[in-house]
Amino acid sequence: MSDRSLPDGVERHEFEDETRLATRGPPVYGEPTDGDWRAWDPERSKLGGMFELGFDTGLTGGETVLYLGAASGTTVSHVADFAGPTYAVEFAPRPARDLVEAAEPRDRLFPLLKDARKPTTYAHVVESGVDAIVQDVATRGQADVAVRNARFLADDGRLVLAIKARSEDSTAEPEAVFERSLDRLRNAYEVLETARLDRFHEDHLGVVATPK
C-alpha cells in the first residue's frame, strides 16, 4: 500500500524486527511498544486493517471524530492518538469500563456510555460538524446507525465504516448483506470506496462515504 493515505501521527515503526503501523500514546491492549510508539494491530482493528489495505479514508490527523462502537478502546485509542477531539460511543457497560481506562491518559478521548442507535441521547454532548465518523458496531442495522448519525457530520466529512455481515444476517451470503447495507447507506451518503477486509477480518466490508 501507499503510506500517502495515512494520517499525520500514524507511521511505520520497527517492532521485534517487523515494520508495523503505529501511533504515539500509552499502550492499551498489550501491543508492542517502541519508546512512545505503540504498534497498531490490524487483526484487532477494522480501521487499522483499512489503513493496511490502502483505503483513502480522508483522515489526515487532527480532525474531530465521532467513533461509534468503541468497545474497550482498542481502535479508538489509536484514533485519539492522532486525531483531535474524539467522542467514543459504547453501549455495553463492561467494555465501557475498559474504554474509560484507555481514556484516562488521553485528554482528547471522551467516552460516552450511550447507544449508537439513539443519537439523540448524546446530541447535547457531540458537536455538530465533526470531520469524521468511524463506525464498528456489531449489531443488526449497521447502515441505519450510520444514517441516523449523519446529522453530526460536516458537509465535506467522511464516514469510515466496517460492515460485519454475520451481525446483520448469519445465514445470508455476505455479498447480499453488503449490497442491502450499501443501498440503505445511499439514502444519506455518497459511497466513495468499498473493499472486503478478509485479509484481516473475515466477512467484513470496509466503506468510505461522504454526506449527500
Question: Considering the domain boundaries, does residue 1 fall inside one?
Answer: no
- Measured CA to CA in angstroms, residue 28 lies from 20, 58, 128 at distances of 16, 25, 29
Grid coordinates given for 97:
469500563
Q: Specify the pTM.
A: 0.96
What is the DSSP secondary-structure string of 8-48? TT-EEEEETTEEEEEEES--SSS--EETTEEE--TTS-HHH
pLDDT tens column, 52-100? 999 999 999 999 999 999 999 999 999 999 999 999 999 999 999 999 9
Give the domain CATH number at 188. Answer: 3.40.50.150
Mean pLDDT (whole number) for 139-158: 97
Q: How many domains does the chain have?
A: 1
DSSP category for residue 184: H
Question: Considering the domain boundaries, does residue 14 fall inside one?
Answer: no
Question: Considering the domain boundaries, does residue 199 fall inside one?
Answer: yes
Mean pLDDT (whole number) for 106-116: 98
Expressed as residue numbers, the domain containing 108 is 41-211
Mean pLDDT (whole number) for 145-153: 98
Question: Considering the domain boundaries, does residue 10 fall inside one?
Answer: no
Question: Considering the domain boundaries, does residue 167 fall inside one?
Answer: yes
- Is residue 1 pLDDT above 50, yes or no? no
pLDDT tens column, 120-134? 999 999 989 999 999
Question: Considering the domain boundaries, does residue 157 fall inside one?
Answer: yes
Question: Considering the domain boundaries, does residue 195 fall inside one?
Answer: yes
DSSP category for residue 202: T
Residue 127 · residue 117 · CB < 8 Å? no
Mean pLDDT (whole number) for 176-189: 97
- What residues form the annotated binding site? 74-75, 90-91, 115-116, 136-139
Question: Considering the domain boundaries, does residue 141 fall inside one?
Answer: yes
- Tell me the one-letter amino acid at 188: A
- What residues form the annotated binding site for S-adenosyl-L-methionine? 74-75, 90-91, 115-116, 136-139
